[in-house]
Amino acid sequence: MSINVLRTRPVTPLDALNQLLSAGFVRGYVDEKVLARAPLSDATEIDNDFRPLGQPGELIPWKKVPTHDADFVGMCATFMKDRTILHAGPIAIQWNDEEGKPCYAVWLFWCGECEVNVYRRDRGWRGCVRFPFPRK
């Protein structure tokens, strides 16, 4: 599934999170320090496909997850436009902090509610988690 989003700048990761929460998203676990370092792009238009990296039940090592174009604010804008894409499964982005440790944000539909989580992770990802891939 693909979605195209236009957005305005500047917006911080915290602003984007607060917009999602005010639109009815549930705040899962959010590490404020990790959130403050969430990646932003300069793009004003986002056009992504969302694809899993493996099969359900498979564990994908975190080092194999693409970090290209990870954009927390852009992903929040995507879900503000259409949260129903989460009904097909969780969507995540991953980046490395200044110490090289993997960090992530994951948006999911759980028990009838949309949720966002931001934290550090180095255990890998289930194959069913989808990641954004920019459409060419």
For 74-103, how does the pLDDT look when each residue is reduced to its tens digit (9 = 90+)?
Answer: 888 888 888 999 999 999 999 888 888 889
* pLDDT tens digits, 40-76: 876 667 778 888 988 888 998 888 887 766 788 888 8
| pLDDT value for 6 | 52
Between vectors from CA 94 to CA 20 and to CA 109, what angle results, nearest 5°?
A: 40
Structural contact between residues 122 and 102, judged by C-beta atoms closer than 8 angstroms: yes
- Show me where the domains of the chain are located: 2-134
pLDDT value, residue 130: 92
- Full-model pTM: 0.86
